[in-house]
A and B are shown apart, each in its own frame.
Chain A
Amino acid sequence: MRLSKKDKLFLLSLLPLATSVLALLILIIFAILLRSLQAINKFGLELLVSSVWSPEQEIYGVLAPLIGSLATSVIATLTALILSIPLAIAASEYLKGFIKNVFSSLIELAGGMPTIIYAVWASEYLVPFLKTYVMEPLHRLLPFIPLFSCKPITGFSIFAAGVAIGISVVPYVTALILESYNSIPAMYKEACYGIGAYRHEAVSILLSLSRPAIVASLLLGFARALGETTIAVTTVGSSMYLSSCLFAPGYTVAALIATQFANANLYMYAESVLYTAALIVTVIATILSFYGSVIMVRWRSRIVV
C-alpha cells in the first residue's frame, strides 16, 4: 500500500497513542514478572505444593487458592453451560416479537451489570438459598461422595462462589453462543425442517454444528471466571484450609490478593508471593482466552460461507 504524504503524517500522528498502549502492556508484564521473581527464587516449587499463609514466619504456599480458583471456575463454567445453551436456544428458536426483545434486553442488561451488585446479592440471598436447597440436601443424600462429604456450616464455600460467579458469567457466554448459533447459515436449518425434523432434532443438529464455538465460549467464560474478584471475596469464605469438599470455605487467588495485598508490604515476601499467584492466574487466563478466540475464528471461517 502506497501512502500519500498526508496519509503518512496521519499514521505518524497515531504512533504516540499506539506506543502508549504498547507501553501499558509491557509495564504490566514487567511489573508482574519482576515482582514475582523474588518469591520464585526464594521458595521455588514449594509455593505451589503447600497451603500456608503465615507472613510472620515467612512460610507461604498458595496451593489452596490456586485449586480454589480452578474449582470455582469449573463450577462457574458448568453453571454457565447448563444455563447459557437453553437461554440461547430460547432466545433464537422459541421466542418472537416483543417477548424476545424483552428477553434479550434482560440478558444484555445482566451482562453489563457491575459485578459488585452480583456480589452483594450473592452474599445476602444466593448463599443462604444454596445452603438450604442445594448443599444440605446433597450432603444428606450423598455424604459418601468426597465432594459433598462435609456439612455446609455457613454456606460460604467454593461451591457457592462457583455458582455465583457462574451466574455472573452466564450473560457473557450466552451472548457468545447466541452470536455463533445465529451465524450458522439458514440453509442448514431449512434442510433440517425440509426432511421433517422436529424442533428438538433441528436444534440438536444446529448445536452439534456449533460445538466448537460453544467450547470456545466456555473457555472464554472460564478465563473470565478465573479473574473474578468481588464475587469470590464475598462468597468463598476465605479459608486457607485445603479440602476435597466443595461445601467447605476456601480461597481463590483473586480473593487472597484482595484480602491480603493491602498489608503485604509489611512483610518481606508476602507481596512477591501474591504477585506470583497473580502471574499464574493471568497466564492461564490469557492462554485460555487466546485459545478460545482462535477456535472461534477458525470455526467461523469454516461454517460461515
Chain B
Amino acid sequence: MYSGRRLKEALFTVTIITLSVAAIAPVLHIVYTVLVNGVSVIVKAGLRFFTDLPPTPGSAEVGGIAPAIAGTILITAIAFPLSVVLGLFSAILTTEFPKNPLSLLVDTIARSLASVPTIAISMVIYTVIVVPMRSFSALASALALTIVALPYTYTYFSAALRSVPAMYREAAFSLGMSRWDTVTRVLIPISRRIIAAGALTTLARIMGETAALLFTAGRFRGGVAISLTAPVDAIPLLIFDYILSPYEIWHEVAWGASALLLLSYLAIFMSVKLMVKEVKL
C-alpha cells in the first residue's frame, strides 16, 4: 500500500512537471521565434525600417513601417492619458464614496466593459464616430482604445488605492484633512508605485491592441500622417494585415514589426517588474 502511494506521488510529480513545461514552452518559443525572425528583418532593413514606407508586394526591399510607428505613437498619446484620467477618477470615486449609488453603478460598468469583445467596441465607434465624420481617424481609434483600456486602468487603480492601509486615511482625517487632500496628498503618494505600474501595464495593452483598430484607424500607409482627423496606421494593424496577405515580403515586414512590438512590450514589462514585484494582468 505504501509503495502504491509512493508510485502515485512520483507519477503526479512527473505529470505536473511535464504539463507545466508544455504550458511554458509556447511562451519561450514565441519570444524566440519572433525575435529571431524579426530582428534579422530589422537588421536587414537597417535604420530605414523606422523611416521608410512599407514595400509594395512585388518589391525586393523590406522598406519600413514609419506610418505604423507614427500612428501607434499618435493614437497612444491620446488614448493613454484619457484612460488613465478616466480610470483614476472613477477609482477615486468608488473607493472614496463606496456607498453612493453612482459609485456602485460606475464600478459595475467599469468591470463589465472588460467582457465586451474589443471588436464590438470597434464596430460601435465605427458607427458612432467614423460614419458621421466620413473618415477613419486617429481620434476614433484613440477613443476605441480608451474604452478598451478603461476597465484595466480602473481595476489597477482601485486595487492600488485600496491597498493603502486604513490607518493612513484615519491619521489624515484626524489631522482635519479633507477627502480631496487625503487622496492627493496621502493615498496617491503612498500607492504611487502600484499606480505607475498599472498605468504602464495599460500602456502595453493600448500599444498592442488590434481588434479595436480594425474599423477605426483606416490603415493609411502612404505616408506619415500627423492629424487627428485623418486615417492612420498602427503597428498591430499592419502586422495583422501583412501576416494574412499571401506575399512573402509582407510576411517579412510583419515579423519585423512583431519583433519591434515585442521589444517595446518587454521594455515596459521590465520597468513594471522593477517597480513592483508582482504584475497583475
Chain A residues at the B interface, C-beta cutoff of 8 Å: 1, 4, 6-7, 9-11, 14-15, 17-18, 20-22, 24-25, 27-28, 31-32, 35, 82-84, 86-87, 89-91, 94, 103-121, 123-126, 167, 170-172, 174-175, 198-201, 203, 223-224, 226-230, 233-234, 254, 257-258, 261-262, 265, 274-275, 278, 281-282, 285-286, 288-290, 293
Contact = CB atoms under 8 A, between A and B. Distances in A.
Nearest to A90: B20
B211 A200 contact: no
Contacts of B13: 94, 199-200
The number of chain B residues touching the other chain, given as a range, is 35 or more
B134 interface: no
Interface string B79-102: 000000110011011001101101
Contacts of B3: none
A70 to B, nearest CB: 14
Contacts of A117: 30, 34, 208, 258, 261-262, 265
A9 B179 CA distance: 10
Contacts of A14: 89, 92-93, 97
A28 B112 CA distance: 12
Interface of chain B, helix or strand or loop or mixed? helix
Interface in B1-60: 5-6, 8-9, 12-13, 15-20, 22-24, 26-30, 33-34
B5 to A, nearest CB: 6
B243 A120 contact: yes
Contacts of A119: 210, 239-240, 243
Interface of chain A, helix or strand or loop or mixed? helix
Which of A11, A111, A171, A226 gathers the greatest number of chain B CB atoms within 10 Å?
A11
B281 A229 contact: no
Contact of A278 (B119, B208, B269): B119
A198 B96 CA distance: 47
A124 B33 CA distance: 10
Nearest to B121: A28
B124 A121 contact: no
28 contacts: A4-B178, A7-B178, A14-B89, A22-B105, A22-B109, A25-B113, A28-B120, A83-B19, A84-B23, A90-B20, A108-B281, A110-B30, A111-B281, A112-B205, A112-B269, A113-B30, A114-B262, A117-B262, A120-B34, A121-B29, A121-B34, A123-B243, A124-B243, A170-B23, A199-B13, A229-B118, A233-B240, A290-B115
Nearest to B30: A121
Given A21-B86, A28-B120, A285-B117, A109 B269 contact: yes
